[in-house]
Amino acid sequence: MAKPRHLAVAGGVLAIALIAALPAAAADASPAYPVTPSLAAGIANAIPDPAAAPAGANVPGCHSTAHPIPVVLVNGTFGNAVDDFGGLAPTLANAGYCVYTFDYGAPSSQLIQSTGPVPASAQTLASYVQHVLAETGASQVNLIGHSQGGMLAEYYAKVLDGARYVHDLVGLSPTTHGTTLDGLTLLAGLFPGASGLIGDACQACAGQETGSAVIQQLDDGPIAQAGVNYTIIETLNETVVTPLGSSFIHEPGVTNEYVQRYCPFDLVDHGDLSYDPVVFQLVLNALDPATARNPDCFDEYPAPA
C-alpha cells in the first residue's frame, strides 16, 4: 500500500488527499539497483563504509549505447557519495546511464567529507573527470552537483577551464553566489558530528560564505560557459543556500527551476533534494530533453531493498 507524498488542491480549497492504493511509478518494475529513500537512510548506509560507492555507481566496464555520455556526481559539504547520492545514483543507473562518484575534501575513510579548501576540491574533480574520460573513452561528461558539489562543477567549468569536457551541468541548490554561516550551520546539523567542524576546521565552509575569495572568483563575469547546458534546480523550502534563489544563474542559456513549479506541495528541503522523485525527473529531463516529461506529483520513493 502506498502513501501520497504531496497534498492536492480541489476547487481552490486545500484538501489532504489520502491515496490508499497508488502504485509506485518507475521506468522498470524490477530495477537493477535499489534506491535509498532519504538522506537519513543514506547516512545510515554510509556509516559502515563511507568510501563505498552508492548502488549503480562506478560499475566496471559500464557502457551505454542509449546514453553514451557518462555522469559524474559531486556531493555536498559534510556528505559523501553514499549518503548524498543513494537515491539519484541508482535512479540514473536504472535509466541506463553510466554513473561515477568520488571522494574529495577529506580522507575517504571519514563519514564527514568534503570539508577541504574549495580550490583543491575543484582540482580533485578535474582529475576525476579525466579519469572517467580515460576509462569510458568519452570526450565529455555530464556533471551533477548537490550544494557545494554544484558550485564545484561551476567553478571547474569556468575557473579551471573545464567547460570543454562538460556537456550538461546540473546543480541541485548549488552555492553559486555563496551562502550565510547560518545556512552552513543548519546543513551541519543534518550530519552526525559535523556541527563541531563549523569554523576553521571546515575550509569549504569559509570558501562558500557569501563574499569569499572563491565566490568572488566564480561570480566575476559570466558564470555559464559556452557549449555547456546548465540546469539549476532549487526548492522553495531552501534554508541552507540563502537567500532563496541565490543558487540560480540568471544568464542566457541557463534553465532555472523550482521543484514547486511542477509540484507546489512538494515539501523537499535542501538535504533531501538528491532523494526527491520530482528532482529525479527534472534531472532526467535535463540530461535527455528529447524524452522530457512533467514529474508525477504523486510519485513516491521506491521501497528500500
Q: What pairing do the DSSP bridges indicate for beta strands 229-234 and 254-258? A: parallel
Per DSSP, what are the bridge partners of residue 22? Answer: none
pTM of the model: 0.86
Q: What is the mean pLDDT of residues 276-298?
A: 97
C-alpha grid cell for residue 247? 543558487
Task: Summarize the chain as % helix, strand, coil (round to 5).
Answer: 30, 15, 55
Residue 133 has pLDDT above 90, yes or no: yes
CA atoms within 13 A on the CB side of 151: 31
The per-residue pLDDT for 182 is: 73
Average pLDDT, the chain: 88
Query: pLDDT for 234-285, tens place per residue?
Result: 999 999 999 999 999 999 999 999 999 999 999 999 999 999 999 999 999 9
Residue 303 has pLDDT above 70, yes or no: no
CA distance 212 to 179: 10
Q: 198 falls in which pLDDT band (50, 70, 90)?
A: low
- Give the domain ranges of the chain: 30-291
Q: Is the dihedral of CA 219, 220, 221, 225 positive or negative?
A: negative
Q: How far is CA 236 from CA 5, 13, 105, in A?
A: 16, 21, 29
pLDDT recorded at residue 159: 98
Fold of 30-291: Rossmann fold (3.40.50)
Question: Band of the pLDDT at 199, cuts 50, 70, 90?
Answer: low
Per the rule left: phi > 0, alpha: psi between -120 and 50, beta: everything else, 114 is left
Which of 177, 168, 174 is CA-nearest to residue 225?
168
- Position 11 confidence tier, pLDDT thresholds 50, 70, 90: very low
